[in-house]
Chain A
Amino acid sequence: GENVEQHPSTLSVQEGDSAVIKCTYSDSASNYFPWYKQELGKGPQLIIDIRSNVGEKKDQRIAVTLNKTAKHFSLHITETQPEDSAVYFCAANPSPGGTSYGKLTFGQGTILTVHP
């Protein structure tokens, strides 16, 4: 089955700096790669996603890049703010045919702390 590795497990940055979180996956059939933000006591919230026919996607301060050949994808947050502090999870969909976007294998998570 699919295996998703996420690094680093913790990341501490100063407000205004950039943060980068990297993930690798094992199943070449996966074609959907979302990133979720989870705040304390809440469920994961989708912040950005990318499909395998796209190499990069950007939404304001957040961007995701995908390298299908190397089977890795990354989350980039620019101009970080204290409210960006949370646990971030990458995920990949392991379904045969890759069309079930809620059926996900998650990484282990990255605790991001943004210091004012």
Chain B
Amino acid sequence: EAGVAQSPRYKIIEKRQSVAFWCNPISGHATLYWYQQILGQGPKLLIQFQNNGVVDDSQLPKDRFSAERLKGVDSTLKIQPAKLEDSAVYLCASSLGDYNTEAFFGQGTRLTVV
């Protein structure tokens, strides 16, 4: 089966600019996660969706980050305006359901803010 698809793979922007990342989860997976992975660290959860509803966004910096999953399938994560410390790999993951199902990760989008 096809895995989690993310685009773009790489993005370089200047600070204070906006950027958006796209994720297409594995077909049929109801739960979608966005993680931020700063170089040399483990991934950190930003937001979790169940279908098109937000389950947990407690670690999302809502003053500059936003995410949506309008039709319960694809999702976009946006940063506006970007800061230097937002430089990281943004990983999308999906799982079949919220309960007792493993998460599968995409390859990620590497963001560099200069």
Q: Does A102 contact B (CB under 8 A)?
A: yes
Q: Does B24 contact A (CB under 8 A)?
A: no
Residues of B within 8 A of A116 (CB): none
Closest A residue, CB atoms, query B89: A43
A99 CA / B99 CA spacing, docked (Å) = 5
Inter-chain contact A102/B93, CB cutoff 8 Å: yes
Q: In this complex, what residue of A is CB-closest to B58?
A: A1
Q: Please, what's the 1-or-0 string for A69-95, where 1 marks a CB less than 8 Å from any CB in chain B? A: 000000000000000000001010000
Which residues of B lie under 8 Å from residue A36 when comparing CB positions? 105
A97 CB to nearest chain B CB (Å): 9
Docked CA distance A107–B102 (Å):
17
User: Is the beta-carbon distance between A46 and B42 smaller than 8 angstroms?
Assistant: no
**Nearest chain-A residue to B110 (Cβ)?**
A41
Known: A43-B106, A43-B107. A99 touches B98 (CB 8 A): yes
The answer to whether A109 touches B41 (Cβ under 8 A) is yes
- B42 in contact with A109 (CB, 8 Å): yes
Which chain A residue lies CB-closest to B95? A102
Could you mark each residue 8-20 of chain A with 1 if its beta carbon is under 8 Å from any beta carbon of chain B, else 0? 0000000000000
Is there an interface contact between B48 and A103, defined as CB atoms closer than 8 Å?
Answer: yes
Contact of B41 among A99, A100, A108 (CB under 8 A): A108
Q: A43-B106, A44-B105 are in contact. Are A101 and B95 (CB under 8 A)?
A: yes
Residues on B close to A: CB < 8 A? 4, 31, 33, 40-45, 48, 55-56, 91, 93-95, 98-108
List the interface of chain A (C-beta within 8 A of B).
Answer: 4, 6, 34, 36, 41-46, 49, 89, 91, 99-109
Sort A-B residue pairs by CB-CB distance and give the 6 closest, nearest first.
A106-B42, A102-B103, A43-B105, A102-B95, A99-B99, A44-B105
